[in-house]
Amino acid sequence: MLNLDGKVALVSGAGSVGPGWGNGRATSILLARQDAKVFALDKNEEALNETIRVAKEENLEMEGLICDVTSGQEIQAAVKKCIDTFERLDILINNVGGSQPGGVEQLSEEDWDRQMDYNLRSVYLGCKYAMPYLKQQSSSAIVNVSSVAALRMMRSRTHAAYSASKYGLIALSRSIAVQNARAGVRCNTVIPGLMHTPIVEHRLVPQLGAENAARLLEERDSHIPLGKAGDGWDIAHAVLFLVSDEARHITATELLVDGGLTAAMA
Ligand SMILES: NC(=O)c1ccc[n+]([C@@H]2O[C@H](COP(=O)([O-])OP(=O)(O)OC[C@H]3O[C@@H](n4cnc5c(N)ncnc54)[C@H](O)[C@@H]3O)[C@@H](O)[C@H]2O)c1
């Protein structure tokens, strides 16, 4: 079940913003544990090297490249390097993204453009340059990583550009899925909820002015019907299912990994 033997996976944002397991690092390692050859991309050398170190420690097959996925040139070069290294491409995970808080009045035009580049254009670029190689296989799969911020608007915390770009990503995934289905390429979206990944300690605690991480996590957990935030491994397992042959009839859809958060707000 869920074995990826013989497949090559390209994962973006394969490091983590701080020590521990972000969504991209957990996904890279899990796909490799399931016997995929993983080509890992990150713009941060230290973060990328840590993921590769873990992979090598477990004798997993993984190579990496420093790459800023907001650059078409760099993505194109990364896809080429992946093909030169592993000779094929079956799986693409577009995992890079992040939020800048603020509503339309607070966000400058430059902030807006940066958010669109970071969360949406990066996904378009990954799909654009990987597609010719994905189409060469009889069955291949893309997973794009959105956010519950696309579906759930909070009066207390607005991030208009993040919400808009992550909602746009869902439409982009569906469009890609429908256009390329007959070519054997499936495309789906994973929608993480409030996760406990290193971003909580690294970015959210200072950004939200929280007393400490434990207090912030407790507050976030209180909104989640399952009672606790998920982590990077929960995202990785959802991604693994969607790229596996067991999900062969699943395309153009979204998998919410949010402990029931979205349903509870309805
Ligand atoms: N962590 C959460 O709670 C959460 C919740 C909802 C959605 N998400 C989404 O999940 C995805 C991953 O989030 P995370 O918190 O695990 O990631 P993260 O912030 O830990 O970042 C993962 C890696 O991406 C790399 N990166 C950043 N910009 C890059 C770029 N331009 N090019 C290449 N690499 C780049 C970073 O160096 C880092 O190593 C994002 O798309 C995010 O929006 C996360």
Quote the ligand 1 centre to 103 CA distance (angstroms): 21
Between the CA of 68 and the centroid of ligand 1 the distance, in Å, is: 12
CA pair distance 8, 91, nearest whole angstrom: 6
* Burial status of residue 237 (CB atoms within 10 A of its CB: 0-12, 13-18, 19 or more): middle
Closest CA to 187 of 126, 234, 233: 126
Q: Report the run of H or E that residue 10 belongs to, with start and end.
A: strand 8-12
Q: How far is CA 136 from the centre of its chain?
A: 23
In one letter, which amino acid is 66?
I
Contact 148, 193 (CB under 8 A): yes
What residue ranges line ligand 1, CB within 6 angstroms? 12-13, 15-17, 22-24, 41-44, 47, 67-70, 95-98, 145, 147, 192, 195, 197-199, 232
pLDDT tens readout for residues 87-132: 999 999 999 999 999 999 999 999 999 999 999 999 999 999 999 9
Over residues 193-211, the pLDDT tens digits come to: 999 999 998 888 777 777 7
* Structure confidence at residue 156 as a pLDDT band (50, 70, 90): confident
Domains along the sequence of the chain with CATH:
8-197+231-259 (3.40.50.720)
Please tell me whether the overall predicted TM-score, pTM, comes out greater than 0.95 for this model.
yes
Q: Which residues contact 51 (CB under 8 A, 6 or more apart)?
A: 14, 15, 16, 24, 25, 28, 29, 40, 42, 62, 64
Catalytic residues: 162
Nearest-atom index, ligand 1, CA of 68: 32
CB-based contact 27:93 (threshold 8 Å) = yes
The distance from CA 169 to its chain's CA centroid, rounded to whole angstroms, is 11
Probe target for ligand 1 pocket from 10, 11, 12, 17, with the most ligand atoms within 8 Å of CB: 17
